[in-house]
């Protein structure tokens, strides 16, 4: 397996919530919550296989979907002609997608 090839352009893989932790990223131990081993604590697994991704792949995919998410959020607010005070650093993130997965 070559890992450091020029073919860094990996496919975007659909992610699905982890079945073990139900997408929470943690599982309940006896006294406290522990990172879910089924998904590296990310809450996501490969939608195609249901298996956890390798760490590198996971980071890649999560980063990708996060960027996409933020991009879409930015587009939405731009289309709505909403607040342009994004760079003001007002410290309010209330409208951002927050994956509590309830």
Place of tokens 């607040």: 83
Pairwise CA distance, residues 54 & 52, whole Å: 7
21 contributes a contact to Zn ion by CB under 5 A: yes
Closest by CA to 16, choosing from 48, 43, 47, is 47
- Whose Cβ is closer to Zn ion: residue 48's or residue 74's? 48
Nearer to Zn ion, 39 or 58 (CB): 39
Candidates 6-14, 39-47, 66-74, 89-97; binding stretch for Zn ion (CB under 5 A): 39-47
Q: Are strands 15-17 and 44-46 parallel, antiparallel or unpaired?
A: antiparallel
- 15 lies in the site for Zn ion, by CB under 5 A: no
Interface with Zn ion (CB under 5 A):
18, 20-21, 36, 38-39
């Amino acid at each position: 397996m070559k890992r450091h090839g020029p073919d860094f352009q990996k496919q975007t893989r659909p992610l699905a919530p982890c079945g073990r932790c139900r997408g929470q990223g943690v599982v309940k131990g006896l006294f406290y919550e522990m990172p879910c081993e089924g998904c590296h604590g990310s809450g996501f697994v490969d939608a195609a296989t249901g298996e956890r991704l390798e760490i590198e792949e996971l980071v890649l995919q999560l980063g990708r979907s996060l960027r996409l998410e933020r991009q879409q959020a930015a587009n939405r607010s731009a289309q709505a002609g909403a607040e342009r005070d994004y760079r003001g650093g007002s410290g309010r993130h209330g409208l951002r997608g927050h994956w509590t997965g309830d």
